Chains A and B, each alone.
Chain A
Amino acid sequence: MMEALAYDFFRNALYAGLLASLICGVIGSLVVVNRIVFLAGGVAHASYGGVGLAFFLGLPVLPVTAGFSTLAALCMAWVTLFSRERADTVIGVLWAAGMALGIILLDLTPGYNSDLMSYLFGSILAVPDSDLWLMAGLSAAVLVLVALFSRGLLVMSFDVEFARSRGVPVRFLHFLLMGMTALCVVMVIRVVGLILVMALLTIPPFMAERRARSLPGMMLLAGCLSAVFCVAGLYLSYALDLTCGATIIAVACVGFVISLAVPQRRRPIAPAGAGPQGGEPVAAQIEGRVGA
């Protein structure tokens, strides 16, 4: 891997992977605890319309896709808030419509577009410096937003009903979260492609959720796991001559399976002999002891 680092494109790939990890740790954690993975999937696929639009108009891809995805995300946020019972259907429609629009616009664009596949499956080895700067800027913006609204986001994520009863601006925060998810998706598209974006958004946060003791802790752990997957995936793809995006996700999936196999932390005050599976009786005993 050391000799690979001599190449600019490989260093850029590493930077892009680490930036994507950082942002996926933060936004992925919020997506997972808010249970809006399907919404994030909808945004990721609808963003393909933005890619098509950028090619059609001959504009830079990342900014146009960012704008388009944000718009799609806000539409979906609006639907989930105001016509809740139809939300999943409408998101499915937007999901499909965005992709179809992207492909049709690419059809209408003169010339052969070799880049088409790269946005589906990622092109981490072809990240130019300008995209790297844009990614860094978006990451910084998202991090500042999350830090500023951290308390409201935490209370909303934990218990929407309680948050509303305390006057937390749940609607605003929901729109904000969806907007940030869109920006995050656009960034990660570069790295692993939009087909696989969901894996990086969900696998590390899922693994972190079971072990972290706070939401910021979960974000940090998810970010670190994500970084490990990205670096390991890049190395393996270089060593074994495999597709980068797919290799990163394969590594993440292996990590996911391992984390399922490793038992969770034991309950600290569980009586000896009671395994973690004996949940309810153990809990009842603890309860009795505390109350006594």
Chain B
Amino acid sequence: MGGVRVLEQVNLTLPRGDFLAVLGPNGGGKSTLLRLILGLLRPGGGQLRVLGAAPGQAGGRIGFLPQFTEVSANFPITVLGAVLMGLVRPGISWPRGRAARRREREAAMTALFRVGLAEHAERRLSDLSGGQRQRVFIARAIVSGPELLLLDEPTASVDGRSRQEFMALLAELNRDMTIVMVSHDMSTVDGCVKSIACVNRTLHHHDDSRLTPLIFAEATGADLVAGCPVELLAHGAVPHRVVLDHDNPDCCGGRHAHGPKAASAGSQEPEKGGRAS
């Protein structure tokens, strides 16, 4: 809408089954990328395909976990009721018959069982802890059986111990679905994440997750505009070998092994494919 250009020269293809962590500073365009994939924003140019369709057309094939802060804590709803919302269909949802409601209930219970909260189905959502609530929202996101799960800062409001359990849950879900997780929290990158995208106006995709020095990038607020934040840091105190594959040819003057993908592929905006690898 004639505004600021948030993202440019973004080229990203995601294989099925990937677990991508999207990292970067505030205002760098992480959430914009997510909204583009969801079809809530339209790109100014370029091509974008999500699960082989135009963004916004995938419906329940995409599961989405918005930022925790969007949800009012006092809302009068049970755990089961919150999960059932994940089965809402696009457009006007006319009232459903009894059989349809029973089927939806069963699907919701299955999703709750999967996140380990089946016994809390009838409790008020506000009675649950922050970590439990996040798992309810995961259940809401997966109740429609999605192929792609999009998470916006899922661990921001979860304390350390619950965070580990939460990440273990995501790793388990990753067996069935592709996951894209926007995060501030570098500690989530450990373990289950399979690849990393650094977003700060442009996007750098790393096909590896051994990037613990990134913690410093956030902490120090390093000038990330000049190049890939990972590289800037990795060239600092940490041995460079933590970065295995890299897609920015200008980054290290060709001294290190870089991936074949160049950022100058011509696309102005994010490209997101659901093609099976």
Contacts and interface: CB of A to CB of B under 8 A. Distances in A.
Contact of A162 (B39, B66, B89): B66
A159 B85 contact: yes
B179 to A, nearest CB: 16
A259 interface: no
B70 A283 contact: no
Contact of B40 (A149, A164, A288): A164
Contacts of A107: none
Nearest to A172: B92
Interface residues of B, number: 44
Interface residues of A, number: 42
Contacts of A158: 71-72, 75, 77, 82, 85
Interface string B62-102: 10101100111011111001100100111111110000000
Interface string A145-163: 0011111101101111111
A213 B78 contact: yes
B71 A288 contact: no
B74 A151 contact: no
A147 B96 CA distance: 11
A218 B76 contact: yes
B22 to A, nearest CB: 16
Contacts of B56: 167
Given A168-B90, A214-B81, A287-B129, A162 B64 contact: yes
Interface of B: 38-40, 56, 59-60, 62, 64, 66-67, 70-72, 74-78, 81-82, 85, 88-95, 116-117, 123-124, 127-132, 140, 159, 161-162, 165
Interface of A: 33, 35, 147-152, 154-155, 157-169, 208-215, 217-218, 267-268, 283-284, 286-288, 290-291
Q: What are the 8 closest A-B residue pairs judged by CB atoms, nearest first?
A: A167-B90, A283-B129, A151-B93, A212-B76, A161-B66, A165-B64, A218-B76, A287-B129
